Structure 1
């Protein structure tokens, strides 16, 4: 199983358009990018590949990264930086199955699968498949499940991808606070590769209107505001989950420039063979 990080940034990416902050300037100097979030998983045994989330940077990602177009896709939630790249499917695919949860969100009165069906009804070569949270299903020869996480106010899901032949496991937290339910932590546990949301360092919480939450014993916030983990929270989660390797993703340009490209913060184009 080969995992390629197509997009490792948050909703504005790094460099951010029109921004001349030290971090964005440093990214330009290094020639690296964190485009909007997306992950490509290739099953080299079957020659099939799976896309997790449709970044608005879909076209750019597939033109610049040496990966095949997906045979199927997953969508974790309906925020634009994870869904709106689906419009790029127009004229590219003869058939593209898109998998999402059928659980109705009380905020939108619609499931993720339902939102995709409604917004992209003009894509007649895209078929939407509903799944219950925690339901195991097989796609591209891989075993997949959506696990509930905590990204208020909307329902959002992490993803577990396992190769039934080799036992390789990739866990993706999805957009989430540190308050991931225990059952989901159990499902995400012991991955060969953990991709963990870590939007900013904990020190940034002092600039958020809601501060931080899920503090550790030393008072360090593991959640920034209410929706995303801090770097420190993501690393604590990785330790809790006993991850063999961890890459921090969904990163904002608010990391100080001297920290923004240090390990284990990911950049676009990284590949991992599991």
Structure 2
């Protein structure tokens, strides 16, 4: 299994438009963050989790040549806005692209991208197959995926477990039932927005506490705001076994 972090930034990305803070002005590539997403390859299956506004550039930068499915964590625009840019995969693969999500996610995608689902489609629009996530686990081309229910303030969001790799973003509460689904995971990805309290995201301290509670061998933090601080400084302060992810980071799991 190979995992590539396509984006590790919050909804505004980093740098933020019009901001002159030291993070947004930094020349360190690790402080330049597209909206949060990953690409995962396992058993010959190529999957993307979330298609945010930077999806096109993420695909080009990562050199992704094939896409077998998209899995959505939730319906916020920083996780769905790039759906239209799956069209090159439609053209090259000559197939509809399955998109997996909870009912409310797919319903919102149908509203916001109504032209994709129109009875009279404009030529060249994206071709998708919308599949509601109702089973645990569900399968993507034979690849088992375990949905991990969490809360983003009051909004139900899904994290996902692929074998020994677990991915959770946009959360500030993980129920006990979901913690059980995470037992034994070796690599955990968790959101850590900033140091200050936030209504719908784990802070850095809360994320560290949750990482220790889950007990993965290695934890990476994602969905990072410019307010968290410079990558090098924050990463150096983290406990052993916990690190900040960055755009382009690649992980290989046996």
Do the two structures share a fold, i.e. TM-score over 0.5? yes
| Range with greater deviation from structure 2 (115-124 or 263-272) | 115-124
Gaps of 5+ in 1: 103-110, 163-168, 205-223
Partner of 1:180: helix, strand, or coil? coil
Instruction: Report the alpha carbon displacement of residue 245 of structure 1 after superposing the two structures with TM.
Output: 1.2
Counterpart residue number, 1:171: 166
Relative distance call for 1:140 and 1:34 in structure 2 (3 A) is: farther
Instruction: Report the alpha carbon displacement of residue 17 of structure 1 after superposing the two structures with TM.
Output: 2.1
Instruction: Report the alpha carbon displacement of residue 91 of structure 1 after superposing the two structures with TM.
Output: 4.6
Instruction: Report the alpha carbon displacement of residue 150 of structure 1 after superposing the two structures with TM.
Output: 1.3
Question: Which runs of structure 2 are paired with 1:103-122 in the superposition (5 Å)?
Answer: 111-122=104-115
Gaps of 5+ in 2: 117-125
Q: 1:185 aligns with which of 160, 164, 179?
A: 179
Relative distance call for 1:16 and 1:69 in structure 2 (3 A) is: farther
Counterpart residue number, 1:78: 75
Counterpart residue number, 1:52: 49
**CA RMSD in angstroms, aligned pairs only:** 1.8
Counterpart residue number, 1:31: 29
Matched residue pairs, number?
A: 233
Counterpart residue number, 2:198: 225
Q: Which has the higher helix share?
A: 2
What TM-score do the two structures reach when normalised by structure 2? 0.85
Any conservation in 2 of the 1:6–1:37 contact (CA below 8 Å)?
yes
Relative distance call for 1:70 and 1:92 in structure 2 (3 A) is: closer
- 2: CA distance, partners of 1:91 / 1:31: 28
Counterpart residue number, 2:233: 259
Indicate whether 1:19 and 2:19 are aligned: yes
Counterpart residue number, 2:123: none
Indicate whether 1:246 and 2:248 are aligned: no
What TM-score do the two structures reach when normalised by structure 1? 0.79
